[in-house]
Amino acid sequence: TQLLEQSPQFLSIQEGENLTVYCNSSSVFSSLQWYRQEPGEGPVLLVTVVTGGEVKKLKRLTFQFGDARKDSSLHITAAQPGDTGLYLCAGPRMDSSYKLIFGSGTRLLVRP
């Protein structure tokens, strides 16, 4: 069974600090996606990483896909209160690419 484990579960930091959240698996994924979810809303896609070792940047957010395609990280530089939310990683099952597996998420609170 493919699983995605995210860490930490909760993170509370001061505005301006840097942080990294992780998404790990013992299985290979063909791609991984990162979503952000705000209270009362559905998840919104931030990025998709496809190639092992790939690094993508979205303003202050940097996403990396592990060389072996078993893990990914999200690094936020100079966090702002607007970054507050639930960060979810997701990837398609190897035996059925129509079935998306989600991690349990990292809940981030950025205090002003």
Partner 1 sequence: NAGVTQTPKFQVLKTGQSMTLQCAQDMNHEYMSWYRQDPGMGLRLIHYSVGAGITDQGEVPNGYNVSRSTTEDFPLRLLSAAPSQTSVYFCASSYGQGYQPQHFGDGTRLSIL
Q: Which residues bind partner 1 (CB under 8 A)?
A: 4, 9, 30-31, 33, 35, 40-45, 48, 50, 88, 90-93, 97-105
Residue 85 C-beta: closest distance to partner 1, Å: 14
Residue 16 CA, distance from chain mean position: 20
- Residue number, 9 or 18, with CB nearest to partner 1: 9
Triad 88, 45, 99: Cα angle to 5° = 70
Query: Of how many residues is the chain composed?
Result: 112
Tokens 């301006």 sit on residue: 16
- Residue number, 27 or 48, with CB nearest to partner 1: 48
Taking a C-beta distance cutoff of 8 angstroms, is the pair 60, 77 a contact?
yes
- Residue number, 99 or 111, with CB nearest to partner 1: 99
- Residue number, 58 or 78, with CB nearest to partner 1: 58
Residue 112 C-beta: closest distance to partner 1, Å: 26
For residue 15, give the 3-state DSSP assignment.
coil
**Pairing of the two strands 10-14 and 106-111:** parallel
